[in-house]
């Protein structure tokens, strides 16, 4: 049986809808690919590392922190420069810049082994979730990891996004 890959960000979700989305997708292994595992403010405090791990554990979901898949500060600065040039706020970004993509692929994905990644998720992993913060998968490095896994392992990827009703409650 092949592993299924899903991706999820936090922007646009509230706590209840975030965890419901994970359970609805049947995620059993949660891969946090953020460098920093904390969020400022109370709106998204539910994805701060300690609380997040506790809630996932209560739901029977294995938590893994894969820091090596997080973009370095240099790579992040490439995206910040492009966002600034275009006048785009991080939370409204729809896609990654080519400079970010090239740097991320070179620094993080050149030596990334998809088979090893699947082994690291464990023998019981059936649905693996890749997590970072951006709402739009194309605006986040998790989509680049997911594309590589899909290509290397010949598997599909599902991107979990908040529903319209959840977006309205965030405004």
pLDDT at residue 167, rounded to an integer? 40
**Domain coverage including residue 10:** 4-170
95 contacts: CB under 8 Å, gap ≥ 6: 136, 138, 139
Domain total of the chain: 1
Q: What is the pTM of this model?
A: 0.90
Task: Assign residue 129 the CATH number of its domain.
Answer: 3.40.1010
Could you tell me the mean pLDDT of each successive run of 10 residues in the chain, 171 residues long? 92 95 98 85 91 97 96 95 89 91 97 96 96 94 97 96 57 38
pLDDT at residue 159, rounded to an integer? 97
What dihedral angle (degrees, nearest 10) is formed by the CA atoms of 124, 28, 160, 49? -120
pLDDT at residue 51, rounded to an integer? 96
């Amino acid at each position: 049986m092949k592993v299924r890959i899903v991706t999820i960000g936090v922007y646009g979700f509230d706590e209840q809808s975030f965890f419901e989305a994970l359970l609805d997708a049947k995620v059993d292994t949660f891969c946090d690919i953020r460098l920093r595992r904390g969020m400022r403010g109370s709106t998204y405090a539910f994805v701060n590392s300690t609380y997040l791990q506790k809630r996932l554990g209560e739901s029977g979901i294995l938590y893994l922190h894969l820091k090596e898949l997080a973009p370095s500060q240099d790579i992040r600065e490439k995206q910040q420069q492009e966002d600034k040039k275009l006048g785009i706020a991080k939370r409204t970004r729809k896609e990654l810049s080519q400079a970010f993509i090239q740097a991320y692929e070179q620094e993080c994905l050149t030596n990334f082994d998809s088979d090893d990644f699947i082994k690291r998720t464990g023998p019981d992993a059936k649905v693996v979730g890749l997590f970072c913060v951006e709402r739009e998968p194309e605006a986040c490095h998790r989509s680049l990891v997911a594309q590589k896994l899909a290509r290397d392992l010949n598997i599909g990827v599902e991107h979990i996004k908040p529903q319209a009703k959840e977006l309205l409650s965030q405004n």
